[in-house]
A and B are shown apart, each in its own frame.
Chain A
Amino acid sequence: MHTKDELKLIEACKHNDRTAQKVLYNRFAPYMMATALRYTGDNDTAEDIVQEAFIKIFGSLHQYAAQGTLAGWVHRITVNVALEYLRSNNILMNSIDTEEVMQLPALDDSVIEKMSADELLAVIASLPVGFRTVFNMYAVEGYSHKEISQILGIQESTSRSQYLRAKAYIQRKLEELK
């Protein structure tokens, strides 16, 4: 459900109204930056992705059917741009093929509960890119392993194993932080 102001904002952005675009940018850029940072692990690349995502958003607002929230639509575009970046630079495939399997005990939820979002983000950002991508897609975005395998062009079993390895990696990081 959109508020009247949000509909006006969307309409103005469709008209290439810079002021309205700036308002929309101010509203979503910090969330998009957090999302991009989860996928890329570094600020500069994350900002490049946010920039590219905004260009796509403003360029395709006329296709936005106003079904579902604007925030959700913006979020999906950001994730897609981030994944496209990883795919186009072959970062994803290279890392998935080469990362070693680690076997560690289950995650301690009490440790995660005590962590701030910034700390958790830092831990995720420190994951190898293949782990990080699958972990983000599965644990944060809610994709199934089947969907992940289709999107990333990998086996479903690879997605599962990458996720498990990511969890194990996080556990190890958390142990180090204790």
Chain B
Amino acid sequence: MDDKELIKLIRDKLLRHRVAVSDDLWSRVSDALPSPVVWYKRKRLYAAVAAVAVLIIASVWLWDDCRDVAEQPHSTLLVCNEDSICCCQDSVIQSVTAVASNDVKCVPSSDVESLAFAETSHTSHEPQVCKEKPLETVDRVVCVVKEECSHEIVEPSPALNIDTPLIAYCHDDAIYYDDEALRSLGIKAKEKCKATQFFAFDASTAGGRTVVTPLSFRSLDAELTFAHKMPLVVRALFEKRFGRWGVGVGLSYTYMVADYEMTNNMRLGKQELHYVGIPLYASFEFARLGDFSFYGALGGQMDINTAGILFEDPSSYAYKCIEEKHFRDKVLQFSAQARIGAAYEVVEHIDIFIEPVLGYYFDTPSHVHSLWSDSPLTVNVALGVRAWF
């Protein structure tokens, strides 16, 4: 047997030979593997840091609120029925009180009727039950407001006179307004909070907003306030990855709640909105640190309103006419979204992740007040679980 044949024989036997390793060898290998941050490219690290910095700076810069609007003096608003009978409710009086604040006199009182023409009176801690009065008496009405209104008593304001136009009235279980813009409560803000007013009152909750909308009637002004609560969003995403790149599509459900209130308590209640959305995005994983991975994503989303409900509060004036109103906004809501996320592999193939999400919701012709229409720029934090295979 020559050397070549011997070598071939030995190679055939040995090169594909396998020998079992001890059970703990993998753990030794795994423990010995370095787990430093593997930044794929330093430039990308800088880009990620810059993105986070921009996000933080933008958030701080946008941390303004709508107080400029909210602190505007209340305006007069009377609510009358079609027979020109104005309801002298506490709510109306509160409004009157605010408008006529320059003429406010603190007068004790316990009797609305006796106070009607009073210049001064005594202090009362008893909330007064206001009565309906003919419109022609309104200019002389002096009612005591509720305790929480500091027991103020007002005299008729010059703005209050019998020529006050009809603002709203009830008819056949429907409420009618005299202004086209108030056809429904879902009127769009005339001067809604701009991007600079992003974090209205609750930046930390990243979702709730209080937005005051000034409304103009024929000759009166009022305000409509929507206090949006943090929305609930549930998403299911499917992402196809190509190395560090990925594209994804999914389905999301958004539930929004807002408390609304119109000056003088004419409207008061809760609005619920339900949306189904279709997100589409591209992602890029820019770093790994052991079981942690860091990534960013850019994309858009289309949201479809599936249902909306207005629950009128029994204490509001409109409750007489509308207790509950169902509607559906047919206008599609489009948005652009940017996410930066960190994921941690809890067990094999299962990650938990946290994603700060910066979103911009484009203007639409919809009349429905949503968090997105009132505050187009949003920052949310998403928590979730993902399985990969």
**A binding-site residues for B, Cβ under 8 Å:** 11, 15-19, 21-22, 25, 29-31, 33-34, 37-38, 43, 46-47, 50-51, 54-55, 58-59, 106-109, 112-113, 115-118, 120-121, 124, 138-140, 142, 167
Contact = CB atoms under 8 A, between A and B. Distances in A.
Nearest to A37: B19
B8 to A, nearest CB: 10
Interface stretch (B24-32, B83-91, B262-270, B307-315): B24-32
B38 interface: yes
5 contacts: A33-B19, A47-B28, A109-B6, A120-B13, A120-B14
Nearest to B29: A54
A87 B379 CA distance: 60
Contacts of A59: 33-34
Interface of A is mostly: helix
A22 to B, nearest CB: 6
Interface string B341-353: 0000100110000
A21 B288 CA distance: 14
Given A15-B244, A47-B25, A106-B1, A140 B6 contact: no
Contacts of B349: 19
Contacts of B33: 16, 21, 54-55, 58-59
A76 to B, nearest CB: 13
Nearest to B34: A59
Interface string B265-306: 000000000000000000001001011010000000000000
Given A16-B33, A43-B22, A139-B6, 6 more contacts: A15-B285, A18-B291, A25-B26, A33-B19, A117-B14, A120-B13
A29 B34 CA distance: 19
Contacts of B243: 11
B120 interface: no
A142 B7 CA distance: 9
Contacts of A142: 11
A2 to B, nearest CB: 14
B17 A121 contact: yes
Nearest to A29: B21
Contacts of A112: 6, 9-10, 13
Nearest to A52: B32
B219 interface: no
Contacts of A15: 38, 244, 285, 288, 293
Contacts of A11: 243
B19 A18 contact: no
Q: Which 9 A-B pairs have the closest CB atoms?
A: A30-B18, A109-B1, A117-B17, A33-B19, A34-B19, A34-B17, A54-B29, A117-B13, A139-B7
A139 B327 CA distance: 84
Contact of A50 (B7, B11, B25): B25
B364 interface: no
